[in-house]
A and B are shown apart, each in its own frame.
Chain A
Amino acid sequence: MLSCKDVSERCTDYLERELTWRDRVQYWMHLAMCAVCRRYVGQMRTTAALLKRVGDDVPLHAPLDPALREAFRATREGRPPS
């Protein structure tokens, strides 16, 4: 039987699907009975989802750095940058 502490410690493995099938079923059984752990796991899931969105704002298209443009043209002409 998993304790709440076990559930919190294995939470990331659970969310990333790295638990074995058997461990997963045990995990579910605990979650089915324990509202606090459900809340905690839900918050961890949301945390991961939020972190994934932090990187979503791609900056506006910036012009290519002139040095890089030059290097690219040089490469194209068979003179790769040293």
Chain B
Amino acid sequence: MRRSAGKEDAGATTASPFALASTSGARQNSTMDRWELACIDTTLQSPGTTSIRYTSRAQSSLVKRRGTTTTPRPAGGGANVRWYRRPGRGVLQAPAIPMSAAREMEQSEHTLVDALLAGDEGTFEKVVSQYQHRLVRVARLYVRTDAQAHDVVQETWLAVLRGLSKFERRSSLRTWLFHIVANRARTHAVREGRLVPFGDGEADGRDHSAEAAWFDAQGSWAQPPAGWPSLDPEALLLGAETRATLLRAIDALPDGQRAVVVLRDVDGLDAAEVCNVLEISETNQRVLLHRGRTKVRAALAGTLKRPGR
């Protein structure tokens, strides 16, 4: 069984170290599962969208060659590197990014922090432009207006400059930045008297009514979901409505669900980072993510309904 790596792979490998840092963990999870599901039901995958990568264990059984004629990978992701499977070894498995890329990323963050500490203005400029909109997005989870969010982020950068020399690198730069901005935004929200603890009421059973109606008393589908024209995210994003629907659906989520969905999925933090930044429990985090994604899926289903299915 041989599969070519998909677009997602190409995207991940061509992205800047920063983008890589933000998304690798989450992508790894989703691709590994995609593979597992594909083993059971290949019909879920449209050809050419399957993303298969290799675990470090399986990787040792793979031979990398250049310029020969099997399994071309899409352009952009190391275009003329081809993967072979050495016969007689275990099943193919698939983590997101080859080890070297992850190490490179770590490396680049080290040099980045070093350059910041050394007072390199270009690096600071790069970090600010990379993170500005993401920090605004996090601040916006707590404060009411974009203007306030920008104020919070401005304060955050000043706090970062003050604290940089004491940054111990126990967490990643990203987690550190997110933590500071969330704390500042929380302080603002408290001052305005509108700090709503995330998770209350959203994570317990009360927020469950829509799904309950899908199933009968035995827990089987009473209202089975309609099929979508495609399950390939890239293909779906070509439709003009998809993106707008996604953004609307995220905006419409209750605060806690939106916070977790934005940090986990949109920003690509891992579960522990999200708990740390939002100061919520692991259980709450899981439930909020599930509820949030379920609502977004339902919104997408409304747009993607295909006539006749």
Contacts and interface: CB of A to CB of B under 8 A. Distances in A.
Interface in B100-159: 119, 121, 124-125, 128-130, 132-134, 137, 154, 157-158
B286 interface: yes
Nearest to B301: A43
Looking at chain A's contact residues, the main secondary structure is helix
The 6 nearest A-B residue pairs measured at CB = A3-B219, A51-B265, A5-B219, A76-B119, A12-B290, A55-B266
A55 B300 CA distance: 17
A28 to B, nearest CB: 6
Nearest to B235: A46
A64 B33 contact: no
- Scoring A4, A69, A72 by chain B CB atoms within 10 A of each residue's CB, the highest score goes to A72
A54 B44 CA distance: 23
A14 B33 contact: yes
A8 interface: yes
Given A39-B225, A44-B297, A52 B268 contact: yes
Contact of B215 (A4, A54, A68): A4
Interface string A69-82: 10111011000110
Given A4-B219, A38-B44, A50 B237 contact: yes
7 contacts: A5-B211, A17-B29, A36-B221, A40-B224, A43-B228, A59-B129, A68-B157
Interface stretch (B84-92, B192-200, B243-251): B243-251
B219 A36 contact: no
Contacts of B296: 47, 51
A37 B37 CA distance: 12
Nearest to A1: B219
Given A39-B225, A54-B266, A55-B267, A31 B236 contact: no
Contacts of B133: 58-59
Contacts of A50: 233, 236-237, 242, 246, 300
Nearest to B233: A49
Interface of chain B: mostly helix, strand, loop or mixed: helix
B268 A41 contact: no
A69 B129 CA distance: 12
A37 B215 CA distance: 12
Contact of A51 (B34, B125, B162, B266): B266
Given A45-B231, A55-B268, A68-B157, A73 B121 contact: yes
B27 A6 contact: no
Contacts, number: 174
A61 interface: yes
Contact of B161 (A5, A9, A72): A72
Interface in B232-280: 232-233, 236-237, 242-243, 246-247, 250, 261, 265-268, 271
Contacts of A40: 224-225
- Contact residues on A (Cβ < 8 Å of other chain), bracket: 35 or more
Nearest to A8: B211
B247 A54 contact: yes
Contact of B29 (A4, A16, A31, A53): A16
A42 B271 CA distance: 21
Contacts of B167: none
Contacts of B34: 45
A72 B250 CA distance: 35
Nearest to A14: B33
A69 B162 CA distance: 14
Interface string A1-35: 00111101101111111100000000010011000
Contacts of A3: 215, 218-220
Nearest to B34: A45
